[in-house]
Structure 1
Amino acid sequence: MQGKKFISPEAWFSMIYPSAWSEFEDGEGSFLFYNPDNWTGNFRISAYKIDASSTGNGMKYGMSLVQRELDENSSATLVTVGPLKCAYSKEMFQEDGTYYTTHIWIAGIDNVAFECSFTVAKGGDITEAEKVIESLAIRKDGQKYPAELIPIRLCEVFEVNEAYEWVVETVKKQQKKDFQGIEEDLPKIQELIDNGELPTKKRDPWLALGITVCAILANEVEGMEWMTLIDGNREAPVLCYKDSGKMIDPMKLVWSKIKAGEPCNVVEEYKNVMSD
């Protein structure tokens, strides 16, 4: 299926979802996707995992939850969605005078179980959800995967926003100046670096400065977008040129230099990126 790729936090699993869908905030441990411009249904997915080596049946955990659902839910039936055998059921409800159906699939792959649901207007098509479920794949423990760039996830959106807000508040507190997120604010970031008040052993404040430099780039330069980098245990927001695919890593702009004891000039770094 053509679409966007989602890799879960901690890289338990991946899936492909329609290009018109976006991720939205949901309950803890659950991921919500839908088309904000032309609503066709809410797709939710949660995953449950055990250590494959924890018990003799660790690799059968996913299918054991499918069987449990079939045993305990009298309305559930066994269906096949792509390569997966799923326990399928549905629930009807009414909201503001409109009837909806929530379709529910419990699926399992080795030591990972999935609970997927797709809520549509009564009689709505569920083909989109079935194609997403068909694309589900797990990422096995101990196996090295190549680095991947995927559309920015909600958790990285929060990370970018929190980092930027921290810089704004720190500039206001230390320098008594406003911060607009434009190129003219770069000397304020440099002042934070040079004044010696940030702890050199702690990564987070320095990473926040790098993220904020990238946020300024995104504001000032057309054709840039935030992405999520999945590289081993690292899952982080990065900035990319849409056309060339060139990646700008916030960590390398500031923290990598501070950690190595090297001088860091964000104005020069910004100019270097602009000239590339």
Structure 2
Amino acid sequence: MKYISPGSWFSLEYPSDWREFEDTEDSFLFYNPDKWCGNFRISAFLGENNSYAKECIDYELSHTPGTRRQKVGNWECAYSTENFQENGVWYTSHLWVTGKDSVSVECSFTVAKGESIKPAEAIIASLWVRGKDDKPLHEVIPVRVLEIDVINESFDWAVSTIKKQLTKDFTSSEADIQNIQKVIDSGKFNKSQRQAWESFGITFGTILVNEMDGMDWVTVIDGQKEFPALRFADTDLMVYPLSLIWNKVRNGETCDLKKEFIRIKGEVEALL
């Protein structure tokens, strides 16, 4: 599975049975939720000059006792370990400091003491760090925690609004398309309320996920733009809920969600 950080400062590949989880603002956490074999964390820091990454490595080597040089894949790293006890169990945190040009990267892997660090080394070996001359990325990756938060917030607001206006339950099924349609046709939202239209689009997207097996949320990296979208299985069929309703509203066009649902369903069935 591929992960690209917000801002495209770095990318990495992690095992398919691992997932990204919520962590601190500047740190990204990955582990296997079904069979835990360690927590992998990564953070990136931007310096003021192209020697910043090297300076961070040298600093670790000279200021952290027990740190030594280690090569992981093509990356030169400063490597150290720290043991600690929690609830009667001993753990080891392995720390690698590496990077490229002005971007310093810190990776840690916390495991039960004595357990293998090969999963972390494989992730670090896959690491890509953006250099000053690298072109913007244009890729589709599994949905990140950042976009999941956007999806959940938009969905919660839209469902609350729909329930308040129609006094009806919302089950995120095909039958609820008409409820979204009633609210967007109600005239209570004007053309300038972009966030509202995008939230209704996200809610429509949630129905697509529930009604069409293989339709899943992804994150689209398009240069400076990063946003949630839908992709059907591993095909090129993409749906863009954020803009699906909003683009029609701002252009003064009518948005028929039932018609859109039938169109998308037909494209999915054609691929099957």
TM-score, normalised to structure 1's length?
Answer: 0.92
Amino-acid identity (%): 46
> Partner residue of 1:42?
39
Structure 2 unaligned regions, length at least 5? 268-272
* 3-state DSSP of counterpart to 1:213: helix
Q: Match of 1:31, as an amino acid? A: F
The answer to whether the Cα contact below 8 Å between 2:50 and 2:102 also exists between their aligned partners in 1 is yes
The answer to whether the Cα contact below 8 Å between 1:228 and 1:237 also exists between their aligned partners in 2 is yes
In 1, distance between residues paired with 2:14 and 2:142? 11
In 2, distance between residues paired with 1:181 and 1:73? 53
Deviations along 1:16-57, one digit per CA (max 9) or x if unpaired, are 11111100111111100001111111000011113xxx5xxx
Counterparts of 1:115-194 in structure 2, within 5 Å, are 115-140=106-131, 143-145=134-136, 147-194=138-185
> Partner residue of 2:264?
273
In 1, distance between residues paired with 2:183 and 2:53? 50
Counterparts of 1:108-119 in structure 2, within 5 Å, are 108-119=99-110
More deviation in 201-210 or 100-109?
201-210
Counterparts of 1:41-60 in structure 2, within 5 Å, are 41-50=38-47, 54=48, 58-60=49-51
Please report how far the alpha carbon of residue 199 of structure 1 lies from its aligned counterpart in structure 2 after TM superposition: 3.4
Structure 1 unaligned regions, length at least 5? none
In 1, distance between residues paired with 2:199 and 2:134? 31
The answer to whether the Cα contact below 8 Å between 1:7 and 1:15 also exists between their aligned partners in 2 is yes
> Partner residue of 2:14?
17
| Residue correspondences, number | 267
Counterparts of 1:59-138 in structure 2, within 5 Å, are 59-138=50-129
- Out of 206, 221, 231, the residue aligned to residue 240 of structure 1 is 231
* 3-state DSSP of counterpart to 2:140: strand
Q: Match of 2:94, as an amino acid? A: H
TM-score, normalised to structure 2's length?
Answer: 0.93
RMSD: 1.5
Q: 4+ residue stretches of structure 1 with deviation over 6 A?
A: none
In 1, distance between residues paired with 2:194 and 2:10? 28
> Partner residue of 2:201?
210
